[in-house]
Amino acid sequence: MSAAHARAEEDKPGATPARTSVRIAGRSMPAVVAAAVYSIAWAVMSSGLIFLNNYLLRDHGFGYPMMLCSMGVTSSWVISFALVKTGRVTLKHEALITRRWYTRHIVPIGFLGALSLGFGNYAYLYLSVSFIQMLKAAVPAVTMCVMYTAGLEQLHHKTLTGVVIVTLGTMIATYGEVKFSMIGLLLMMLSELSEALRMAFYQYLLGNLKFDMIEGLYVMGPASLVFLWLGIAVFELDDFIHNDGAYIMLEAPLYFLCAALMGFCVNYLSLAVVSAMGGVGFKVMGQAKNAAVILGAMVIFGNPVTIIQGIGYLTSIIGFYVYQKGKIEVQALEAVTHSHGRV
């Protein structure tokens, strides 16, 4: 799972943390230390999961992307379910979660989250790890377009400029890709569009409602899993049975177990980073992590990165900086307007 719930939390008003200390393993520590611990752990775990999934999908021959990403979602929900039912975690919004409310508010978000995960994982069958990380730089552009179309976000000259620069950089990087696949590109674009729609639905349906880290996994998990399992049943299960997919898993059971547990860790840590650093900090960390993954993929998998791609990716990073600066200015203006409105 690609930390979908965290990306929704990071774009909410007031996402910037105000705490000076954070509790980790029952102990309070300075927020700066907590942010550093969570950020490093998330970056390492997220990068490791990307490399492991790519290995399982392409080198190990487990060509079932939805089944693979469902393992992380399943482990996240099972662990969060156990923590809730044993009383280790208390649901702050339990009274709100009725069957009708869940169907209207969470199921659409879960459906779009499943689409984002499914399309995104299928892209790894067609595109290099490095190129996929470059394409992820276009997420702000897609998100802003969807948010503006839905009337959930106002245009700002800096955010618009940033989106234009990011789009240009993505086009340059695409032009420079050696192992280009139109199918892979379409899958990645569908993944990013689904994620942008999911974030728009999250903001429209849930507003400023915030879930705690484990509570978010507990509430969101089942909705995504149902649609992932439906997709598996339609597109992957028959081939999995006829081609002894279970035997492929039994050849390296520890790898698949690690993929499932790492999926939970990435989901939990991404929410922790947002809580400790705020949405902007999480996005900056995400870009730094993507750059590290690009370099790592060049070494580990031999993914070629051309000079044109490098220029395109650098252009996208500049656009990302301009976009984020514009977002900060918009949020600051909204905060001032809101405070004046209360006076």
Number of domain units in the chain = 1
Helix-then-strand count for the chain, H and E: 15, 2
What is the Cα–Cα distance from 332 to 149, expressed in whole angstroms? 22
* Bigger pLDDT: 142 vs 63: 63
Confidence of residue 104 (pLDDT cuts 50, 70, 90): very high
105 lies in which domain range? 4-342
Output the pLDDT for position 16. Answer: 45
What is the per-residue pLDDT for 280?
Answer: 66
CA of residue 267 relative to chain centroid, distance: 8
Angstrom distance (rounded) from CA 79 to CA 67: 18
What element of type H or E holds 85?
helix 65-85
CA angle (9, 14, 18) in 5-degree steps: 105
Mean pLDDT to the nearest integer, 205-218: 84
Q: What confidence tier does 15 reach under pLDDT thresholds 50, 70, 90?
A: very low
Tens of pLDDT, residue by residue over 243-252, are 999 999 999 9
